[in-house]
Amino acid sequence: MADKKHEKKPKSKTPHPLITKPVKSPEPPRDPVEFRSALNSIASHFPMLRMRLIQADMHYTPAGFVKTALFTAVYITAALLLITWLLIQKSDYALPAIILLIPVFYLASFFYAMHFPHVKARMRAKRLEQELVFAGRHMLIELKSGVPLFDAMLGISRDYGEVSAEFNKIVEKVTLGVPLGVALHDVAKTNPSSYFNRMILQMANSLASGSDLAATLESSLDQISKDQTIQLKAYGQKLNPIVMFFMIFGIIMPSLGVAFVIIMASFLGGTGLTFGSSALFGILVAVGLVQFIFLSMVESSRPRFDIV
């Protein structure tokens, strides 16, 4: 019993003191075993899929994501068929229409699912650009104060969201022995943000040429800030027509149009024209879809950054 008490407990592995958070994934990318050749054949028709998966930070091989997209398309197709059946179930051609729509809905759902890595990569790029100028200003101040570049990057490898995660990758690569210029190029190669890539590649070129890194970084940040200012002004100008179309197609036409159709149906009741609950439900779905599209357009086009 005494020997057991004096047994040494195994020490838990701690990350390198320079690394804020280890970025190596403990699990490999998901790669299916069954039907791998067929899935790879489908994935070959999407040449940018592998890069989009890396940029979106999704742990899939192209074949693995194709398999996921095929199953996702089944669920989306089932939901669309259910909605369509509720809308046209009283029609004499409801069943033939449902059968004909199955391949159409499935193909559309599959291509929609295959587009998801691109959407996620764009969302990640927006999160990067939200904090990029702030993190760059932080690093610029440290460089002008005489702090070495590696220590300056280590200082912004926390507290800046996605930007910190990217600089943390650079810090980890350099800590493991990769040259700083190579680490900068490797991270820029797999990053979805054009602004981030521009800043990192200019830093790498400045290191290779031996020019003033602080001046290069300051010039890059000023250009990024000007571009973001232009994007904010363009977004403000874009809102006016979007709001006008939303008022017309999302509010005025549904309300006045439904009232007009109900009045016309009451006058023409003897002709067999009816306006029941199923028609109202269809209009409700259409109005909801239109408003969702407009709100998605406004949300997706809104810049995610602030002006420094």
173 and 186 share one domain: yes
- Owner of token pair 């040429």: 209
> Which of these three, 79, 114, 149, is where a domain ends?
114
Judged against a pLDDT cut of 70, whether residue 94 lies above it is answered with: yes
The fraction of the chain above a pLDDT of 90, given in percent, is: 15
188 and 109 share one domain: no
Q: Is residue 150 part of a domain?
A: yes
> Which of these three, 175, 201, 223, is where a domain ends?
223
Judged against a pLDDT cut of 90, whether residue 108 lies above it is answered with: yes
Judged against a pLDDT cut of 50, whether residue 86 lies above it is answered with: yes
What is the distance between the alpha carbons of residues 251 and 239, in angstroms, rounded to a whole number? 17
Q: What is the pLDDT of residue 280?
A: 72
Q: Is residue 2 part of a domain?
A: no
219 and 135 share one domain: yes
> pLDDT of 255-272, one tens digit each?
777 777 777 777 766 555
pTM: 0.72
Q: Is residue 245 part of a domain?
A: yes
Query: What is the three-state SS of 88-140?
Result: HCCCCCHHHHHHHHHHHHHHHHHHHHHCHHHHHHHHHHHHHHHHHHHHHHHHH
> pLDDT of 60-69, one tens digit each?
888 889 999 9
Lowest mean pLDDT, pick from 23-27, 82-86, 236-240, 263-267? 23-27
104 and 158 share one domain: no
173 and 146 share one domain: yes
93 and 75 share one domain: yes
Task: Give residue 163's domain range.
Answer: 127-223
219 and 286 share one domain: no
210 and 135 share one domain: yes
pLDDT confidence tier of residue 27, bands split at 50, 70 and 90: low
200 and 253 share one domain: no
How far CA 301 is from CA of 112, 163, 187, in Å, comes to 19, 21, 26
What is the distance between the alpha carbons of residues 207 and 182, in angstroms, rounded to a whole number? 11
Q: Is residue 139 part of a domain?
A: yes
Q: Is residue 14 part of a domain?
A: no
131 and 215 share one domain: yes
Q: Is residue 12 part of a domain?
A: no
158 and 133 share one domain: yes
Q: Is residue 31 part of a domain?
A: no
Number of domains in the chain: 3
100 Cα distance to chain centroid: 33
Residue 282, H or E segment: helix 277-301
> Which of these three, 223, 257, 272, is where a domain ends?
223
- Owner of token pair 């930007």: 163
241 and 286 share one domain: yes
What is the distance between the alpha carbons of residues 34 and 68, in angstroms, rounded to a whole number? 13
Q: Is residue 122 part of a domain?
A: no
Q: What is the pLDDT of residue 96?
A: 85
